[in-house]
Amino acid sequence: MIVGKPLWRDVFHGTREAPGVRRGTRRNRPLGRNIMERKNFDSAAATWDEEPRRVKLAADIGTAIKNAVPLSADWDGMDYGCGTGLLTLDLAPALHSMVGMDSSQGMVDRLTAKCAAAGITNTRALRCNLEQGELPAGPFHLVTSAMTLHHIPEIVPLLTSLRGLLRPGGWVALADLETEDGSFHEDQTGVFHHGFSREELEGLLARAGFVSIAVRSATTVRKGERVYPVLLAVAVNP
């Protein structure tokens, strides 16, 4: 999910209803191959939440975001690469509305079903086909993403585009692995980075135009005998 500069050219201003998806009136430069769909996330969606490690990771990241960002009940948020919405739904009660965005229809369908079953009305799940220039309507007060950046070949164009979806003064909160030796993923398909150092995350966000950048420990993930630290980077759109 990568394009030239910028990833999305057109940003649409939504209403106070939970934002939807609109297609740009101008065709963007073609995207690269949709990396995230190279793994079969559609078929994995039905049982995705059955892995306790994933559930705990999302909850820990949600707690870290709540401790780092001054969330408000009148904010609209967007969770990029939301999967089944574990983080999306963790944050939604603290916000006015939440959009979970993913390229996998299976993941989007699963989040939609979870919202319906729980009677959640302030959250929508949307499949955005970035190759056709689709994007969530904004602007948003908060954009989040968990464990997605290491699947992105070129990160600065993505961060620049996410900043374009934020209101002035809006926050981004990104969680991903701290630098590891490549053992976290048994299947390396679509993995472009073996985590990030704190300095790398700070530099990437600065290059994308963010300010007030802070990187902190969010949680750890245990896989067998190995423990992998997860970092949370937060920053502000000036």
Mind listing the pLDDT tens digit for each residue in 54-95? 999 999 999 999 999 999 999 999 999 999 999 999 999 999
pLDDT of 213 higher than 80: yes
pTM metric for this prediction: 0.81
Structure tokens at 213: 């950048």
pLDDT in tens, 132-171: 456 677 899 999 999 989 888 889 988 998 999 999 999 9
Q: Can you tell me the distance from the alpha carbon of 181 to that of 185, in angstroms, rounded to the nearest whole number?
A: 10
Q: In whole angstroms, how far apart are CA 54 and each of 41, 87, 184, 200?
A: 14, 10, 13, 25
For residue range 24-48, what is the model confidence (pLDDT) as tens digits?
322 233 333 444 444 577 778 888 8
Output the CATH code of domain 29-236: 3.40.50.150
| Residue 48 token pair | 């995705």
Cα distance between residue 94 and residue 210, in whole Å: 24
Closest CA to 5 of 180, 163, 116, 151: 163
Of 67, 41, 73, which is closest to residue 54 (Cα–Cα)? 41
